[in-house]
Amino acid sequence: MKDFLVGIIQQSLIFSIAVMGIYISYKILNFADLSADGSFTLGASVSAILITKGFNPFTSLAFSMLAGALAGAMTGVLNVKLKIQDILSSILVMVGLYSINLRVMGKANLPLFNQSSIFTDGNILFTILIFTFISGLFFTLFFKTKLGYLLRGIGDNENMIISLGINTGSIKIFALALSNAFIALSGGILAQYQGFSDINMGTGIMIMGLASIIIGFNLFGKMGLSNSSILCIFGTIIYRTSIALSLRIGFNPSDLKLISSIIVIIALTIGNGRGIFKNWVSRKEKVKYPSQLEKVGSEHA
């Protein structure tokens, strides 16, 4: 049982780095970036092939981030410069990345057994914690900078930012590059963690990220937590725990897509249910308020 829980935490922390990247595009930029699936695999592919070529495992992760950033920038260029819709531009990049990932690895599955990794000479959980902490710290500090606030402003009211004479297109491209750099880093770490890179390992990453964000903000955001990176981490842990428990009680791996959909529906329902309850309470208060005014008026009369 201990190994089971440790395994869940380790995988959750790795995936939470990708969730932070998805948060940038989905929650802040309001950009439906489906290229996340391809960027995740790209990060794994680049890291894996460089390790087999004798590169340092840590250096390979830097190249993974660079490759992910280029993929994200390409999505941004298609959207900003060529005026292609956000969801369509990300789909085009995702489809193109499938062939690129095959080219990078040379085959559909690239094993890393007997190869050195970032986990070779250290504790696995501690190493993952360090990467997650650094990613979360950078994520938090970045959005306290001028550029970070500007990025939030574009997501909230792009027309206002444009009226200030700021080129929002370049910032969008940078944001998508940063988002996919996080996602690719997560993919590279996962490839080294599980000992192989596979062409399909990024499938469903976008859904996983959205589910984790929804769970984190709907469940933990209401408890007073405001740090977005922590909410992403907690949401990912809950999501991955739900998936692991589903497999442990007897569900087939082929059922995971359905389980993921159900988890997202439940999380959304909880969030919407709270909103409905608040609206119901506010309506009750509005009903009471006029009656109280009438009572006060009659007393004065």
Rounded distance between C-alpha atoms, residue 249 and residue 239, angstroms: 16
Annotated domain spans of the chain? 2-300
What's residue 131's pLDDT? 96
What's residue 121's pLDDT? 84
Whole-number Cα distances in Å, 7 to 43, 49, 63, 244, 292: 21, 25, 26, 10, 59
2-300 under CATH 1.10.3470, yes or no: yes
Rounded distance between C-alpha atoms, residue 10 and residue 128, angstroms: 7
Which tokens belong to 195? 């000992």
What's residue 293's pLDDT? 41
CB neighbours of 200 closer than 8 A, spacing ≥ 6?
41, 108
Which tokens belong to 208? 């996983």
Mean pLDDT by 10 residues, the chain (301 residues): 88 96 92 93 97 95 97 96 94 96 95 91 92 95 92 88 88 95 97 95 89 86 75 92 86 80 78 55 53 50 49
What's residue 141's pLDDT? 94
What's residue 207's pLDDT? 86
What's residue 251's pLDDT? 82
What's residue 109's pLDDT? 95
Q: How many CB atoms lie within 10 A of CB 211?
A: 28
